[in-house]
Amino acid sequence: MEEIKSFVKKYFDLDLAHASIEAFACLLKPQQFNKGDLIFNDRSVCKNLYFIKKGLVKFYFINENGKEVIFRFFAENTYFTSLESFLNHKNAAQFAKAIENTEVFFLNKTELDRLIASHPAVAGVYKSMFATVNTNMIKRFSELMSCDAAERYENFLKNNSALLQRISLGDLASYLGITQESLSRIRARK
């Protein structure tokens, strides 16, 4: 339990009352995923909000040709869920897969709703978290629509260089929206 409380304080850098931090920490449950494990898929409702303690997760869709299209990578000290599924209790439109052995803490939506009702200050944290999710989603869509592949690669190097040693070139190409061959040409020019 102390590990979870420490994680909550460090992760959120919260200015919440001690009782709210205690209540939040009590609801977080640890879980481990092995490399290759699906955390959720497009045939299930995502009922949890996940906080990554250690490891790496890819968040992707399957396109009409049956290929993975990676939208985001989530590493240590980030959080993820299938937002529409989590909020609206619908099947997820995407997949989340551990691409390394991954340790998470998760919080169930029903428990989160009860926590917010009993600790209103947590609602502010929750609101801030989902504002960040929306901002990141808009940035990602803007990048995909307004930048060419070389610019997207440069942006990835600038913002996610630590991930380069942890992801495959195939996953990087998928994230950039290009083929591995195109990625090889872009990298050769550098």
Question: What is the pLDDT, as a whole number, of residue 123?
Answer: 78
pLDDT tens digits, one per residue of 138-160? 999 899 899 999 999 999 999 99
Mean pLDDT of 21-34: 87
Q: Which domains does the chain have, with CATH numbers?
A: 2-146 (2.60.120.10)
Higher-confidence residue: 190 or 17?
190
Residue 6: predicted pLDDT: 66
Confidence of residue 57 (pLDDT cuts 50, 70, 90): very high
Handedness of CA 184, 157, 102, 177 (dihedral sign): negative
**Percentage of the chain with pLDDT > 70?**
90
Distance between CA atoms of 68 and 60, rounded to whole angstroms?
6
Residue 54 and residue 103 in contact, taking contact as beta carbons nearer than 8 Å: yes
Residue 167, pLDDT score: 97
Residue 7: which pLDDT band, with cuts at 50, 70 and 90?
A: low
Mean pLDDT of 74-93: 91
b/e string for 108-142 if b means 16 or more Cβ within 10 A? ebebbeebbeebeebeebeeeeeeeeeeeeeeeee
- Overall average pLDDT of the 36-41 stretch: 95
Start-to-end CA distance of the chain, whole Å, equals: 48
What is the predicted pLDDT for the residue at 15? 58
